[in-house]
Structure 1
Amino acid sequence: MVENSNILLPPGGQRILVVMAHPDDAEFLCGGTIARLTAQGCEVSYLLATRGQRGSDDPAMTPERLAVIREAEQRRAAEVLGVRQVLFLDYVDGDVEPSLQMRREIARLVRLLKPDVVFTFDPWQRYQVHPDHRAVGLCTLDALAASRNLMYYPEQFAETGGPHRVRQIYFFASDQPNHWVDISAVIDRKVEALLCHASQMRGRDAQAIRELVLQRGRPLGSEHGFTCAEAFHHLVMN
């Protein structure tokens, strides 16, 4: 099914959970879509596996300092986009694996937050070189399968109230997109959110970031009549 929409979600999709590996992943890959969702009244939460403590080439920087910097940057960017809350799992940047422990932790938060829709990495993206991206996408999908099942992690039920089923998943960074979102009207908000990630922007100003957003978004939107778009693979879980 190929989708092309100004309204991203199916009816009832009010609670959104975005699961990512590092600060700035969401802003780069789906920041415009998030801006549109919050403008429509959706409740968006972020869940990050790491604080991005290895995302620097500065020899004077330390992982400990960078983790504090990038967490603050992520919270500011989330505020710009209208995200309700930002949660971290405290894994180490670059060392994330699709483990049973991470699956359990994500399943717990899915049961607590009860999202209608989840956004995450497409774990089957070809030639994806960052292990954290592959691991987070795969582990999130596995956690969604577990979170709906009565026999998985029943020790969580006293806290979470029981299983929770998520039917709608949108994979970003996918080689096989089937859903495109027009972000032409919210480019400035995406740029503003990206500017919050100063440690990662390498001195780029707003104009340079805007050109980067358009460079990525124009090809995605051109075939669908959009000036600028973000693309996803939409999967319905039965």
Structure 2
Amino acid sequence: MLPESEITRVLVVTAHPDDADFGAAGSVALFADKGVEVTYLLVTDGDAGGNDRSLDHSGMAELRRAEQAAAAKCVGVTDLRSLGRADGTVVPSLDLRRDIARVIRQVRPELVITHHPERNYEFIAPSHPDHRAVGGATLDAVYPDARNPYAFPELVEEEGLEAWTVREVWLMGGPTRNHWVDITPVVDRKLAALQSHASQVGHIEGFAEIVRDRFAAWARQAGFPDGHYAEGFQVVNTT
């Protein structure tokens, strides 16, 4: 794995507001506390989220952008970017690959965190079609697009964005995890970030206990002591 001492910039690419917080907010908080620069790139603004129709799509998008900004603040992230795609319609197109490759070249991260592109049959929630599409497009943007100076030449010729090689990718929500992060010191900040998404989780009775139970179970799976919490990822070496 990439040594932590060599990680100075992290890009988290997700489909919707709250995805980063469910999958990686604890790890993000730990990175931010060490001075690592973390950027969130959201492919959609979550305009089709929520559990009622009191807001139209634009109103929901505005609300969820505000919720994500509040959640990001809980874990030390201030650089938030959005591609503004329509929630529920994302496909791993060339246009999406180009737009993600653009941000990779702008941010120049050593590590990218994104969705697993495969369906998880053990736990279906992370396998939203948008998640899988974003995960696949992000992996393609990492390899080969962002590092290939001949891919999307307009990024160099018109925007001055030279090729960049991401050294490692962590995949969230997949069926195979091979890296566990002990998030015990920051679990309360992860929970605060998640609770910032009131439009998505405010109606769930006992939400805090559900979150703690889930990530405590992952800590046990990882072999951490009782009373610990963990996030799990599949690590992809891209070099």
Shared fold (TM-score, shorter chain, > 0.5): yes
Displacement of 1:185 after TM fit?
1.2
Unaligned runs of 5+ in 2: none
AA in 1 matched with 2:170: Y
Q: Aligned pair 1:73/2:67, yes or no?
A: yes
Over the matched positions of the two proteins, sequence identity in percent amounts to 40
Question: 1:22 is matched with which residue: 13, 16, 26?
Answer: 16
Q: Aligned pair 1:186/2:183, yes or no?
A: no
AA in 2 matched with 1:164: W
Displacement of 1:12 after TM fit?
1.3
Displacement of 1:9 after TM fit?
5.0
Q: Aligned pair 1:231/2:222, yes or no?
A: no
CA contact (8 A) 1:97 1:135 kept: yes
Distance 2:38 2:192 in 1: 18
Q: CA RMSD in A?
A: 1.7
CA contact (8 A) 1:195 1:201 kept: yes
Query: In the TM superposition, what whole-angstrom CA distance separates every residue of 1:159-198 from its partner, at most 9, and x where no partner exists?
Result: 3441000011000102110000001111110111112111
Aligned partner of residue 140 in structure 1, secondary structure: helix
Moved more, 159-168 or 29-38: 159-168
Question: 2:91 is matched with which residue: 76, 85, 97?
Answer: 97
CA contact (8 A) 2:120 2:173 kept: no
Query: In the TM superposition, what whole-angstrom CA distance separates every residue of 1:117-153 from its partner, at most 9, and x where no partner exists?
Result: 0000010233454110110000000011111012101
Displacement of 1:31 after TM fit?
1.0
Q: How does 1:161-200 map to 2 (within 5 A)?
A: 161-200=161-200
CA contact (8 A) 2:14 2:42 kept: yes
Aligned partner of residue 11 in structure 1, secondary structure: helix
Distance 1:160 1:175 in 2: 38
Distance 2:53 2:161 in 1: 47
Query: Counterpart in 1 of 2:152?
Result: 153
Displacement of 1:215 after TM fit?
1.6
Aligned length: 230
CA contact (8 A) 1:154 1:162 kept: no
Q: Aligned pair 1:216/2:210, yes or no?
A: no
Query: Counterpart in 2 of 1:134?
Result: 132
Moved more, 95-104 or 57-66: 57-66
AA in 1 matched with 2:199: S
Change (3 A) 1:55 1:9: farther
CA contact (8 A) 1:168 1:234 kept: yes
Query: Counterpart in 2 of 1:58?
Result: 52
CA contact (8 A) 2:69 2:78 kept: no
Distance 2:3 2:129 in 1: 29
